Amino acid sequence: MTYKLLPKSGIQIHDDFSFQLETISRELPPQEFLKEAIFAAESHHQKYYLQRNHIRLCESLNLRSAEQFADSHLACKLNGYV
């Protein structure tokens, strides 16, 4: 079995083009418009499999409404295991 090295984080400058690319990328403003474009999914899509298949578990955690599912960190972690 052969192993490959993972690429290092950071920008490596090898020539003039990569130098220009690196300087331009530093000058760009942060993408604030992306933060405004993120919406929550519809209520019936929030942790769907957790709500559908594990009703007793959700009731024992007092997760009954869609808002509680959307805001719950525990529901998010449990949804990853389901």
Let me know: does 69 contact 75? Beta carbons within 8 Å: yes
Q: Which residue has the tokens 């993120």?
A: 38
1 pLDDT band (50/70/90 cuts)? low
DSSP letter assigned to residue 15: S
Let me know: does 79 contact 49? Beta carbons within 8 Å: yes
Range with the poorest average pLDDT among 18-22, 56-60, 77-81: 18-22
Instruction: Report the pLDDT value the prediction gives residue 31, as an integer from 0 to 100.
Output: 59
pTM for the full predicted model? 0.43
In three-state secondary structure terms, 18 is helix
Q: State pLDDT tens for residues 13-46.
A: 566 666 666 666 565 555 555 556 666 667 666 7
Residue 49 or 40, more confident: 49
DSSP letter assigned to residue 73: H
Q: Which residue has the tokens 């949804």?
A: 79
